[in-house]
């Protein structure tokens, strides 16, 4: 009777542990170690000159635009090292310039669904006396639409690292679209 009980208990423990492991893999397979991430953000409220998202704004004949994307590699479960690039410009009666933006940072998924990110971003603005740089912090929610796609609405704060730059600290609302593979 003892060996039957021990055997049954061992089988139950093994089954429960195995079920938990498969559930965990299903919930965080997108953010598992050795996975890749490609992300595009809408970047509402993007600081002029340090944008790696997609945006366009026009008012009274003046326009600001940007096209960019970010990529990341999960070097451990839920933690990705990311880089981003963007290209944009500003056109108005007073200025017509191009902007090359860059970003490097880390993104961590808390409980596999709440991404937080810390990064450094900056830009090279054609003919500018000073180029902007920011320390960025963002948080959001990852809504996984399957094994390879997520939608990630979030908020972002960019702390300006330039004393004299015209665009100081900025707050953004983002909607990110990511591919996981």
pLDDT reported for residue 29? 87
**Confidence label for 47 from pLDDT (cuts 50, 70 and 90):** low
176 and 153 Cβ atoms separated by less than 8 Å: yes
Closest CA to 179 of 154, 146, 153: 146
Q: Catalogue all structural domains in the chain, each as residue range(s) with its CATH number.
A: 2-180 (2.40.160.20)
Interval 127-178: pLDDT, tens: 888 888 999 999 999 999 988 999 999 999 989 888 766 557 888 888 999 9
- In angstroms, rounded to a whole number, what is the distance separating the alpha carbons of residues 62 and 142? 34
Interval 150-159: pLDDT, tens: 999 999 998 9
For residues 8 and 110, the model is more confident at 110
């Amino acid at each position: 009777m003892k060996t039957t009980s021990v055997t049954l208990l061992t089988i139950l423990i093994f089954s429960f542990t195995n079920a938990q492991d498969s559930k965990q893999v299903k919930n965080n397979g997108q953010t598992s170690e050795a996975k890749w991430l490609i992300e595009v953000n809408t970047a509402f409220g993007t600081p002029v000159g340090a944008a790696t998202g997609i945006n366009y704004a026009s008012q009274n004949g003046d326009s600001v635009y940007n096209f960019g994307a970010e990529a990341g590699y999960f070097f451990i479960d839920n933690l990705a090292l990311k880089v981003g690039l963007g290209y944009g410009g500003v056109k108005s009666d007073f200025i017509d310039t191009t902007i090359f933006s860059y970003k490097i940072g880390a993104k961590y998924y808390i409980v596999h669904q709440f991404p937080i990110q810390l990064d450094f971003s900056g830009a090279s603005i054609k003919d500018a006396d000073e180029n902007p740089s920011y320390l960025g912090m963002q948080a959001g929610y990852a809504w996984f639409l399957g094994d390879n796609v997520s939608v990630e609405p979030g908020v972002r704060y960019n702390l300006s690292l330039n004393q004299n730059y015209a665009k100081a600290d900025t707050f953004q609302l983002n909607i990110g679209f990511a591919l996981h593979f």
